[in-house]
Structure 1
Amino acid sequence: MKTILYARVSTTDQTLDHQKTQAEQAGFVIDDVVSDHGVSGVSTRLRERPEGKRLFDMLRTGDTLVVRWVDRLGRDYADVTKTIREFMERGVIVRTVINNMTFDGATKDPVQMAVRDALIGFMAATAQANHEATKASQRAGIDAAKADKKKYLGRKPSYDRKALDAVLSMIEVGTNGTSEIAKATGLTRQTVIRIKQDPAKANTILSAWE
């Protein structure tokens, strides 16, 4: 039985090494890593991703699939819930790094099954809502930047999109302190603190300069 980490890395996402480190810090012992790079999780089903196909072939009954969050497993609510249930039917345990959620199809108790299925639906819906909120925030930031493009932009931020996304991801996990985040991203503690205090403002400033 193996523990396999699946990671999706886009141009604005966390690096593969960072996601693996997060999983190990959460207590997972990873036997193998499967990752897709530059693939949109919003428009592409897991089975249609180059390494996603290999993941389905690799997983066996009794294996554990680790993902940073359930949004790595599908495009939207329906796709995520379908994918998790398919893995459970195959005897694969699905676990998340964030909040350490476990989805196991072994239970036959109807109450536990109902709770598990309700939790899957809630987590998938939350993932889709978070994605849509992020897109809306980014659009708002871009619109604000366009409206102010003739104005003085102020001091250029010391972080780029990749660094900002990494900081926000680590803040979301909640297991990293300010100093740890600063060290991991190469930013100063003061910069990390400002991002923590007002993520939307940090995104708007960066969008203006982009």
Structure 2
Amino acid sequence: MTQTIAQKMYGYARVSSKDQHLDRQLAALEQFGVEPSLVYADKASGKDFNRPEYQKLVARLRKGDVLVVKSIDRLGRNYDEVIEEWRRITKDRGANVVVLDMPLLDTRERQDGITGVFIADLVLQLLSYVAQIERESIKQRQAEGIAAAQARGVRFGRPRKRRPASYSEARRSFQEGRITRKQAAACLKVSPSTFDRWIREDDDQVKESA
């Protein structure tokens, strides 16, 4: 006779930095019925899943176990990666996932015959789509903002060095062949490439005014 392994309910909590607190998440997990000894917590970014406590938790998950988090962003910030990790937990390991702040994200069997896995997959796909639209919208707004600022004459990047008072004399000496470009740049305390750029800009201004 084979002995069945009791199913366990684990909790996971995460904050992004060490000065943030886990109290609210831990309280929500305990209220849901997760034993404190089965709660894993990280103080790390949600950009990926390379977090020590999270990896320990996933390694312990067995078929039928339940992983509980307070909100979906406690798992991660990138919805595409969250979906991939979600499927690894629910399909590869056969465990369930419950998100307390979003009841539709509950993969446990439902009484109406529709599985929680099916509903959760649909919700996650929708969240991923909304996140992608928002990322594209942010990029578009940034591009429009940069274009509008450039139209107003705003320059981006590092400010260019201003020509020192001795620039005209150094340029004349260089053009007359009395000093080299490196010597001229050294006198002005700039790099030869900066000196070359100043010369080109002067030539361009002369051409435009001609």
Higher relative contact order (CA 8 A, sep 6+): 1
Higher helix share: 1
- Normalising by structure 1, we get a TM-score of 0.49
Structure with bigger gyration radius: 2
- Normalising by structure 2, we get a TM-score of 0.49
